[in-house]
Structure 1
Amino acid sequence: MHNTQPWRFQYSRRGRVFRLRADLRGALPHTDPELRALHIGCGAALMNLRVAVAHEGWEAATRLLPDPVDPMLLASVTLTRPLGDEADPAALYPAVRTRHTSRFPFAETEIPASVRSALVDAAHREHVALSFVSGWHLQYVVDLALEAEARNLTDAGAAADLARFTRAADDTRPATEGVPEYAFGPRRRIGKAPVRDFAGGRSIPGRPTADFETFPHLVLLSTARDRPVDWLRTGQAVERVLLRATLAGLSASFVTQALEWHDLRWPLRDPTSAMAHVQMVLRLGYGPRGRQTPRRPVHDVLDIEP
Structure 2
Amino acid sequence: MRSAVLVVPTLEDLVSAAVAAPSIHNTQPWRFRLDPDTGTLEIRAAADRGLRHIDPTGRALHFSVGCAVLNLRVAVAHFGREPVTRLLPRPTEPDLLATVRLGGTTASSTPHLYDALWHRRSSRFPYSERPLPTAVLAELAEAAHAEGALLSRPGPAETDRLLQLTREAEHRNTADPDRAAESRRWVHEPNDAAFGMPPATLGPQDFLDRIPMRDFGAHRHPAVLAARPFETRPTLMVLSTGHDRRADWLRAGQALERVLLVATAHGVRASLLHQALEWPDLRDQLGQAPGDRPAHAQMVLRLGYGPEGPPSPRRTAEQTLAEVPLSAAR
Task: Mark yes or no: TM-score above 0.5.
Answer: yes
SS at match of 1:166: coil
Q: Match of 2:99, as an amino acid?
A: S
SS at match of 1:295: coil
More strand by share: 1
Q: 1:124 corresponds to which residue?
A: 145
The answer to whether the 8 A contact 1:39-1:235 is kept is yes
Identity %, equivalent residues: 45
- Distance in 2 of aligned mates of 1:134 and 1:289: 26
Deviation at 1:109, TM superposition (A): 1.6
* Structure 2 residues without counterparts, runs of 5 or longer: 1-23
Query: Structure 1 runs of 4+ off > 3 angstroms?
Result: 204-208, 303-306
* Structure 1 residues without counterparts, runs of 5 or longer: none
The answer to whether the 8 A contact 1:55-1:91 is kept is no
* TM-score normalised by length of structure 1: 0.94
Q: 1:272 corresponds to which residue?
A: 291
More helix by share: 2
Q: Is residue 55 of structure 1 aligned with residue 78 of structure 2?
A: yes
Q: 1:211 corresponds to which residue?
A: 229
SS at match of 2:180: helix
- Distance in 2 of aligned mates of 1:251 and 1:10: 32
Deviation at 1:206, TM superposition (A): 6.5
Q: Is residue 145 of structure 1 aligned with residue 166 of structure 2?
A: yes
Q: Is residue 136 of structure 1 aligned with residue 149 of structure 2?
A: no
Matches within 5 A, 1:127-206: 127-167=148-188, 169=189, 174-190=192-208, 192-205=210-223
RMSD: 1.6
Deviation at 1:15, TM superposition (A): 0.8
Q: Is residue 73 of structure 1 aligned with residue 96 of structure 2?
A: yes
SS at match of 1:220: strand
Q: 1:7 corresponds to which residue?
A: 30
- Distance in 2 of aligned mates of 1:232 and 1:264: 21
* TM-score normalised by length of structure 2: 0.87
- Distance in 2 of aligned mates of 1:187 and 1:195: 6
Q: 1:41 corresponds to which residue?
A: 64
Q: 2:4 corresponds to which residue?
A: none
More off after superposition, 252-261 vs 293-302: 293-302
The answer to whether the 8 A contact 2:167-2:212 is kept is yes
Q: Is residue 295 of structure 1 aligned with residue 314 of structure 2?
A: yes
Q: Match of 1:198, as an amino acid?
A: F
The answer to whether the 8 A contact 1:153-1:200 is kept is no
Q: 1:244 aligns with which of 237, 262, 271?
A: 262
Q: Match of 1:4, as an amino acid?
A: T
Q: 1:100 corresponds to which residue?
A: 121
